[in-house]
Amino acid sequence: MDDTTKLLLRAARGEAVPHAPVWFMRQAGRSLPEYRALRADIGMLESCRRPDLVCEITLQPVRRHGVDAAILFSDIVVPLQAAGIDLDIVAGTGPVVANPVRTMADVEEIRELDPAAVGFVAEAIRLLLAELDRTALIGFAGAPFTLASYLVEGGPSRHHAKTKALMYGAPDVWHALCAALADITRTFLQVQVDAGVDAIQLFDSWAGALSEADYRRYVLPHSRAVLGGIVGKIPKIHFGVGTAELLPAMSEAGVDVIGVDWRTPLDVAAGRVPGKSLQGNLDPCVLLAPWEVVEQEARRVLAEGTKAHGHIFNLGHGVLPETDPDMLTRLVDLIHST
């Protein structure tokens, strides 16, 4: 394989790499003072709709840390808002939905996503591709279960109780909701693929709330419809938190790379999803400890990652806002020199 191929793509395919590629979930955001300065007077969702800002915020961690991949600055609720759902992102809380979805009539109100309604995302990707050279650009979306959890609860929740009540109590409504969300998500990802992203990541952050049997019954068919419906040969990464028991099922959704949180060592995860590359999985809280601890844990993750088909170094979940950005830069340097 031609050695100008971006490292992230080579690791995703399980090809030899000089060092593991590294990027961080939520690398663009509140751990960076330059991000906070840009966002001082502008709402989260408004900033996502401005291609110039999306481009700048996406590039900030690339310039600062020298990561091997940029993740498009956006949010999982962006395509829902573009499809006409009344919601906002409230600082310190997360997504808040004006009229939670609870009945079949509510589901029937959900419209399809017109690709033109997310034209600002395609435009931002065009700006980014002109700036990025060897750095891969990752597009992303939220998976049907995680999106449904926000729509049904009306906002973030601890136990996803209303979501599960709908899933168990009204499976016809549940499946109709997830089918509508799968359609929106597939369209949103296809817009990003057509605009030229190098890889996509489907976040099913909260899927770990389910048993494997329920995941297979209520969620997997919809995630598979999203990923199986994407036209284009790009690596597909699938990630959730607390998914140790779900890794084999998630790997059946049509993915090349499985994201793993910090609870499952990568060598153990590798045994559960043979033939798939892995992404992860340093505990984001480790970055709040002294550098010696970060280095030791990062070396452990790298060593365990050698057991996988391919390994993309990342955290086990997003960068915490209180993280010292210099820790991230040092960590990138360590990964690149190992």
Residues that bind ligand CP3 (CB under 6 A): 25-30, 39, 44, 71, 73, 75-76, 89, 91-95, 140, 146, 156, 203, 205, 318
How many of the other CB atoms lie within 10 Å of CB of 213?
9
Q: By C-beta, is 30 or 307 nearer to ligand CP3? A: 30
Closest CA to 248 of 280, 282, 216: 216
CB 78 → ligand CP3: shortest distance, Å?
9
Give the shortest CB-273-to-ligand CP3 separation in angstroms: 20
* Neighbour count for residue 111 (Cβ, 10 Å): 13
* Residue among 71 and 107 whose Cβ is closer to ligand CP3: 71
Contact between residue 250 and residue 240 where contact means Cβ atoms under 8 Å apart:
yes
How remote is the C-alpha of 298 from its chain's centroid?
A: 21
Peptide bond into 314 cis (omega under 30): no
Contacts of 277 (CB under 8 A, 6+ apart): 11, 12, 13, 14, 256, 257, 258, 308, 309, 310, 311, 312
The dihedral region occupied by 138, where left means phi > 0, alpha psi between -120 and 50, and beta the remainder, is beta
Tokens of 255: 């993915």
Question: What's the min distance (Å) between Cβ of 246 and ligand CP3?
Answer: 15
Residue in 288, 333, 324 with CA at minimum distance from that of residue 33: 324
Instruction: Find the catalytic residue in 10, 49, 150, 204.
Output: 150
Catalytic residue among 10, 35, 39, 198: 39
Compare residues 90 and 303 and give the one whose CB is closer to ligand CP3: 90
Shortest separation between residue 91's beta carbon and ligand CP3, angstroms = 4
- Phi, psi angle pair for 68, to nearest 5°: -85, -10
CA atoms of 226 and 144, how far apart (whole Å): 9
The smaller minimum CB distance to ligand CP3, of residues 93 and 338, is found at 93
26 a catalytic residue: yes
Alpha helices per DSSP H over 207-286 = 212-218, 220-228, 247-250, 266-272
Is 39 in the active site?
A: yes
Rounded to whole angstroms, how far apart are CA atoms 270 and 55?
35
CB-wise, 239 or 309, nearer to ligand CP3?
A: 239
Give least dist CB 94 to ligand CP3, A: 4
205 or 243: whose CB is closer to ligand CP3?
205
Q: Could you give the residue numbers annotated as active site?
A: 26, 30, 39, 75, 150
